[in-house]
Structure 1
């Protein structure tokens, strides 16, 4: 009798396994064959005595283009006309990087605008007051 354990791999609730391999196994999971979204990898191991162990690993596949939406958050209460900025871009593949369209533009946060106005006002005040003579001697 051989003292070998076997590993069977399943994706989601599919009764048909991806494969059964002798332990240890190196395996490449091709996520391009899966739809985007939540999935589960189920690993079932059986030792030479027939005892079974099960481990499930949830993961999320995102092979399709990324979608970024600015101007609307999840479960936000809204009213009136909403200005939205929506961008969708693919990441290319692992051999090439797509620069065009791979970044999502964002509007400048309000606090940065206030900070820039305050800094500019201080700079003008400093410039005006540093070049003058004191009023009282």
Structure 2
């Protein structure tokens, strides 16, 4: 029988592995059991001769509801009354898409108004200049 490398999976600084498996392996990391924030997945492998390899992968968990904010940016300098809109929504159970509350309404960007004004100005210019053309031969 061919000997295989053994793989130990660790989350953050926990001294106990979350799994001990033989290579090659596919596994599902259940992040619902982790708190939101930055974490590390440490993978240690030991080959049949006893040599070790290590790989550390940093990742961030966001299982909680998403929070969308409009009206203020991070590190903004503000004055007076600042209208702020906050929306928070969960993702559902990952098998069904939760559409209710999953989209945050947003204001129309100012550049859309500028493009609309330029288009209307060009349209008026085109109509005025094309109607004054004399088609006499």
TM-score (normalizing by structure 1): 0.86
Contact preservation (8 Å) 1:5, 1:46? yes
In 2, are the aligned partners of 1:2 and 1:48 still within 8 Å (CA)? no
What is the match of residue 54 of structure 2?
54
Root mean square deviation, CA, Å: 2.0
**3-state SS in 2 of match to 1:40:** strand
Greater Cα shift, 40-49 or 111-120: 111-120
Structure 2 gaps of 5+ residues are none
Pairwise CA distance, 1:133: 5.5
- Equivalent in the alignment of 2:76: 76
Counterpart CA distance in 2 for 1:132 and 1:66 is 57
Greater displacement, 92-101 / 40-49: 92-101
Tell me, which stretches of 5 or more residues in structure 1 are unaligned?
Answer: none
| Count of residues paired in the alignment | 134
Corresponding residue for residue 120 of structure 2: 120
Asked if 1:23 corresponds to 2:10, the answer is: no
Contact preservation (8 Å) 1:68, 1:104: yes
Map 1:1-137 → 2, pairs under 5 A: 3-132=3-132
- Normalising by structure 2, report the TM-score: 0.86
Give 1:86 deviation, angstroms.
1.3
4+ residue segments displaced more than 6 Å? none
Offset at residue 116 of structure 1 (A): 1.0
SS at match of 2:121: helix
Q: Following the alignment from structure 1 to structure 2, what is the Cα–Cα distance between the partners of residues 76 and 48?
A: 57
Partner Cα separation in structure 2 for residue 2 and residue 110 of structure 1: 66
